[in-house]
Homo-oligomer: A and B are copies of this chain.
Amino acid sequence: MTAPIIEMRNIEKHFGPVIALGGVSFDVRPGECHCLLGDNGAGKSTFIKTMSGVHKPSRGTMVVEGQEVVFDSPRDAMAAGIATVYQDLAMIPLMSVTRNFWMGREPEKGFGPFKTIDFAKANEVTMREMARMGINLREPEQAVGTLSGGERQTVAIARAVYFGAKVLILDEPTSALGVRQTANVLATIDQVRKAGIGIVFITHNVRHAMAVGDRFTVLNRGKTLGTAVRGEITAEALQDLMAGGQELAVLESSLGGTV
């Protein structure tokens, strides 16, 4: 078993009077897809935002490739090879696909203070990467606001993958997607994982998790309920865990176990 790329130890996060995370430990290894599951408000988004430098943990340490780190901003996390696709997509509707794709890491040409963005290269790469994800853009100058939700999701993932992350974090990437788009995203995850990148995948859908996950960590009310390895746990057991171990509302039999 390889050493983890990122290890989060006993992370706590308080927002004023709200304790969003109460000591969560978690790690990701290269080439694995580690699923983070849990109820609404369990603290999943808060946790991965801590991981990607948006929030600073109130307590706890982060270790990246054996080195203890403190991220002051998302820039730091990106520099350390952590790319994130947020639940709220981090796309700017009025800007073009290219500008969004490269936002924060625009390719430059020219010298000294006269550097300008290398639009030729930027456009070309954007078109190519989008095509690789199965989306053919009309033109790279198209505003992101004119894309469908699924297309935006794809831009966000393509961007994260392209920038050669060591760890790719996906926060509920499939929740708003149709069947075909979901299949696409899951296939992409598989593909990225095979390239040796560690993936953190957040979802509410047990089946999506089971489909691509190697390990499963369940959060509940800001605490870890435990981590299971693929093959050691059934979908039903995982689902019970996600629901917090409480009895589910009585449903029609046809719902059959998994939701």
A contact residues, total (Cβ < 8 Å): 46
Q: What separation, in Å, do the CA atoms of A203 and B224 have in the docked complex? A: 30
Q: Are B259 and A182 in contact (CB under 8 A)?
A: yes
Q: Are A177 and B204 in contact (CB under 8 A)?
A: yes
Q: Which residue of B149, B208, B255, B256 contacts A41 across the interface (Cβ within 8 Å)?
A: B149
Q: Are B248 and A180 in contact (CB under 8 A)?
A: yes
Within 8 A of B (CB), among A180-216: 180-184, 186-187, 190, 204-208, 210-212
Q: Are A259 and B207 in contact (CB under 8 A)?
A: yes
A12 interface residue (CB < 8 Å to B): no
Q: Are B150 and A255 in contact (CB under 8 A)?
A: no
Q: Are A252 and B211 in contact (CB under 8 A)?
A: yes
With A186-B252, A212-B252 given, name 13 new contacts (CB 8 A).
A41-B149, A177-B204, A179-B259, A180-B242, A180-B244, A180-B248, A183-B255, A183-B259, A186-B249, A186-B259, A190-B252, A208-B259, A210-B254
